[in-house]
Structure 1
Amino acid sequence: MNTKKTRQVRVGQYILGGGNPVRVQSMCNTDTRDTNATIAQILRLEAAGCEINRVAVPDMEAAQNLGKIKKGINSPLVADIHFDYKLALEAIKQGVDKVRINPGNIGAADNVRQVVQAAKDKGVAIRIGVNAGSLKYLKEIEGKPNLTSFEWAEIMTREALDQADILEKLNFKDILVSLKADDLPRTIAANELFAKTSDIPLHIGLTEAGSFLSGTVKSSIALGTLLKNDIGATIRVSLTEDPVLQVRTAYEILKALDMRKFGPDIISCPTCGRCRVNIAQTVKELENRIYSDKELLAKATGLKIAVMGCIVNGPGEARDANFGIAGGVNEGLWFIDGKAVSKIPQADWIETILNKIRERNAF
């Protein structure tokens, strides 16, 4: 499945929008002035599959450090900047691939022209970010606590279009837009309305989605709804968690929608009183082993692996997988491509699966 045929925008080695694959993005929580810590985190994110990485640029020291960071990583680098056009100019000079800055918030028209010219010269894209909590049109909302999601969407879309218009009047087209709220219906409505109005590709996500459980649920519903309607060129799952978990969650959403393949599809039962093996521990260790080994991860991508706990649903699910185990009492029936092969003790489950993955060619 590809997304709506918006205009195409290059960010580093990726072409975003226009039916290209949806790319996974995250944001570092390190101090950008700390070169080693920021590079180390981005390399961890890249290993987890993150394709575009954003860093905060709160001051000139951080901006001037972006070149060093860029040299130490492999993915496109995005500079997140607010209000100060000089930081944007320095970030572009340092070699970033995209700048997140709202042109209406950086002062005089000449400031915007300077940023646009620098971005044109270096082939740098600009993302406009509209968040429900920091709208220019907040005065219209004051005293109206019961605005509908569509009314919110109209205000957010109008602000995004106003900001984009500033750039387009300067003949700058390499634009992406994000419209985010912590509220699921507002986020969906705003992105749907913008997508009907403009051909600018969208970076989608919920802002301040929350903890791992609640944030994953809300993000899955919101992003899944938008992606299913062909809306979204890049995605970020914003969780109050290690950014690596944000990346893993984003891929699970894309995999569930059959939009990207990254890593295996591991299915496992929730367990009940019939279960006589430790499914939870097995699945957790299996995932950790696969996702911490780049070569193993490549070979496991696209595979369906079933780890089931009993003889009721276990054999059917295991038979439907590339590799599957249906648990018994401290052992399990081992299936390969739908055929029962042998019984193996639980202590051997993980290594049996991993060895079989190693024998396969990468997807």
Structure 2
Amino acid sequence: MMYRDHTKVVKIGNRVIGGGNPILIQSMTNTPTEDVAATVAQIHRLEEVGCEIIRCTVPTLEAAKAISEIRKQISIPLVADIHFDYKMAIAAMENGADKIRINPGNIGGADRVAEVVRVARERNIPIRVGVNSGSLEKDLVEKYHGVTAEGIVESALDKVHMIEDLGYDNLVISIKSSDVMMCVHAHELLAGKTPYPLHVGITESGTVLSGNIKSAIGLGLILNQGIGDTIRVSLTGDVVEEIKSAKLILRTLGLRKGGIEVVSCPTCGRTKIDQISLANQVEALAAQFPNLDIKVAVMGCVVNGPGEAKEADLGIAGGIGEGLLIKKGQIIRKIPEAEFIPTLRYELEHWNEQ
């Protein structure tokens, strides 16, 4: 069953998620939200590489007021992230947030949750109900003898029911854990129990290296079951890396087209060109052509190189200080190593003219 085909459609600013719509990529700014110029500059960097929804923390009234100015200067939906103070959620919505993220369990009593829901209903602003394994309620930890997938799901559904009981169902759910397999299991349990779209991510996953591995495994296992409507790859690093990784995960699973796929061999003793540097340069070059949906191969020697490169749309098969340019399965010509990148750039720039 493709769960995402049957989830409720939720409108976030000028975008929609759920109901089988394309999975959207999110990130979160790490600038002080009060610093409008710095926050807008970072969002523009993220927009350029393909971020489709952005989240900003709103810990102060000044940050809530900044939402209004930030939103004027960007073209993607803005989500206000709220912790503890329900007044910040209300202020963020009053200043134009396209969506808010709250944990109803940590913004005060039922009366405060009701106030937030009242304002959200007036403005038809979706609420993302976020539950994190690190803040699971003590009674659920005791009930399940520790932090478990079952406890995370029960906590999330309790919060959802709290808001549903207030007569509001414009909701998105996120359940996150830094334990990859616990996170996967929790999503499997939740998917069949709720009609709301799910935001998926592995929280606190780590640095660019470990975070990418954990996110690829976790998101891969979840998304491949048809679960998930929007994603974030959480990395301790440059936020732009989150978008690059998310796009590659979706492309690898066949859930998104567009962007050049670069394949390259791992090098061996036969390699006579600077394969590692070349592969990195080609990957950077490929990122400059986000609208080309092709495969580019970078192969280091003549053993498997020509055959592998022929399977790609465009490729280089290295020799001794030179290589073969291969295009659409045909060997075009030999080129010296120094001309690899300029030649590939030219081919990519004129790809749609062929």
> Shorter chain as normaliser: what TM range?
over 0.9
TM-score of the pair, normalised by structure 2: 0.95
Measure the CA separation in 2 of the matches of 1:7 and 1:139: 30
Measure the CA separation in 1 of the matches of 2:168 and 2:352: 44
Q: CA deviation at 1:143?
A: 10
Matched, 1:345 2:345: no
- One-letter identity of the residue aligned with 1:244: V
Identify the residue that residue 261 of structure 2 maps to in structure 1: 265
Identify the residue that residue 71 of structure 1 maps to in structure 2: 72
- Of all paired residues, the percent bearing the same amino acid is 46
Identify the residue that residue 202 of structure 2 maps to in structure 1: 206
SS of 1:104 mapped into structure 2: helix
- One-letter identity of the residue aligned with 1:213: L
TM-score of the pair, normalised by structure 1: 0.93
> What do the CA deviations read for 1:304-323 (whole angstroms, capped 9, x no partner)?
00010001111111101110
Identify the residue that residue 28 of structure 1 maps to in structure 2: 29
Q: What are the equivalent positions in structure 2 for 1:140-219 lying under 5 Å apart? A: 140-141=140-141, 147=146, 152-219=148-215
Measure the CA separation in 2 of the matches of 1:92 and 1:261: 34
Q: What are the equivalent positions in structure 2 for 1:45-84 lying under 5 Å apart? A: 45-84=46-85
Identify the residue that residue 6 of structure 1 maps to in structure 2: 7
Measure the CA separation in 2 of the matches of 1:108 and 1:268: 55
Measure the CA separation in 2 of the matches of 1:357 and 1:241: 30
| Contact 2:11-2:126 within 8 A present in 1 as well | yes
- One-letter identity of the residue aligned with 2:17: L
- One-letter identity of the residue aligned with 1:66: I
Identify the residue that residue 331 of structure 1 maps to in structure 2: 322
| Contact 2:17-2:229 within 8 A present in 1 as well | yes
Measure the CA separation in 2 of the matches of 1:361 and 1:67: 41
Q: CA deviation at 1:128?
A: 0.8
- One-letter identity of the residue aligned with 2:15: Y
SS of 2:290 mapped into structure 1: helix
> What do the CA deviations read for 1:209-250 (whole angstroms, capped 9, x no partner)?
011111111111110000000011111111111110011111
SS of 1:270 mapped into structure 2: coil
Q: What are the equivalent positions in structure 2 for 1:229-268 lying under 5 Å apart? A: 229-268=225-264
| Contact 1:97-1:124 within 8 A present in 2 as well | yes
Measure the CA separation in 2 of the matches of 1:287 and 1:48: 14
Measure the CA separation in 2 of the matches of 1:347 and 1:120: 61
| Contact 2:262-2:282 within 8 A present in 1 as well | no
Q: CA deviation at 1:268?
A: 0.4
| Contact 1:9-1:15 within 8 A present in 2 as well | yes
| Contact 2:4-2:197 within 8 A present in 1 as well | no
| Contact 1:167-1:173 within 8 A present in 2 as well | yes
Q: CA deviation at 1:289?
A: 3.1
User: What is the aligned residue count?
Assistant: 352
Q: Structure 1: where are the runs of 5+ without partners? A: none
Measure the CA separation in 2 of the matches of 1:271 and 1:49: 31
Assess, with a 3 A threshold, how the Cα gap between structure 1 residues 316 and 129 changes in structure 2: closer, same or farther. Answer: same
Measure the CA separation in 2 of the matches of 1:244 and 1:216: 13
